[in-house]
Amino acid sequence: MSGYHLFLLYRCLRFPETTAIGYDNHYRKAWVEKMLQVEAKERGPCLSVISSTKSAATFFASTSLVLSSLIGAGLEAVQMISSRVFSYMVTQIHPSFLSNMLAFVSYASFLQCISSFVHANFLISMPNSDVPVEYVQMALIRGSAFWSVGLRAIYFAVTLLLWIFGPIPMFVSSVAMVVILHILDTNSASLSTGQES
């Protein structure tokens, strides 16, 4: 999974049009350009889109925090109940500790996502201002990047949790996750320049 995400990062940086992330970022930039052309008092629908995204990010942040707490409580219970040799416990628990850390990384990423979208909301709703389009675009794209990192951290955490059942379920889950993510992350549609309309 780590190798796939390094490959995805390379594609996002070098060939963004071939990824769903680059595709979405292209249309986010176009959305901001069109939205900033209307009067500030008519930007209500745009602000509601950002508001609903903030609500979803808040839900995922809470879910990540709960997941991190449950994993931590589970690790505590395993350490108290297990009567196996210490070295065996360390080997078995290590992926779960990593899973716990990834759940917390997810929580932090969703908090940063919310922060970026709040900043974008502030820039969009300012009446009679000449906010550069690039500032709003950068805030939206940064928020979306943190959103992606948060979701990917949850995917990693859940896959690592399968180590409880052994390395084979975790490996099968990792392979299935990479195949599914590759399908979802690939973009074959061409990017329009927005000049047609």
3 state DSSP class of 73: helix
Amino acid at position 175, single letter: V
Domain residue limits at 128:
2-7+44-185
23 is a domain residue: no
Quickly count: other Cβ atoms within 10 Å of residue 53's Cβ.
19
Give the pLDDT confidence score for residue 85 in this predicted structure.
Answer: 45
Beta strands in the chain (DSSP E): none
Using the predicted structure, report yes or no on whether residue 3 has a pLDDT greater than 70.
yes
pLDDT tens-place string over residues 35-66: 877 776 777 777 888 888 899 999 999 988 88
- Give domain status of residue 82, yes or no: yes
Per the prediction, the chain carries an average pLDDT of 83
Residue 15 lies in a domain: no
**Number of structural domains, the chain?**
1
- Whether 19 is covered by a domain: the verdict is no
Q: Please state the pTM of the whole predicted model.
A: 0.81
At 165, list the tokens. 């059942």
Rounded CA gap, 96 and 77, in Å? 12
- φ, ψ for residue 19 (rounded to 5)? -115, 155
pLDDT beyond 80 at 27: yes
SS3 state of residue 186: strand
Q: What is the pLDDT of residue 4?
A: 95
Does 84 fall in a domain?
A: yes
Tell me if 193 is assigned to some domain. Answer: no
Question: How does pLDDT run across 116-160, given as a tens digit for each residue?
Answer: 999 988 888 877 667 788 998 999 999 999 999 999 999 998 888
pLDDT, one tens digit per residue, over 71-127 is 777 766 666 665 554 444 445 556 777 888 888 899 999 999 999 999 988 888 877
What is the predicted pLDDT for the residue at 164?
77
In a domain, 144, yes or no: yes
Task: Tell me if 26 is assigned to some domain.
Answer: no
Tokens of 185: 């992350």
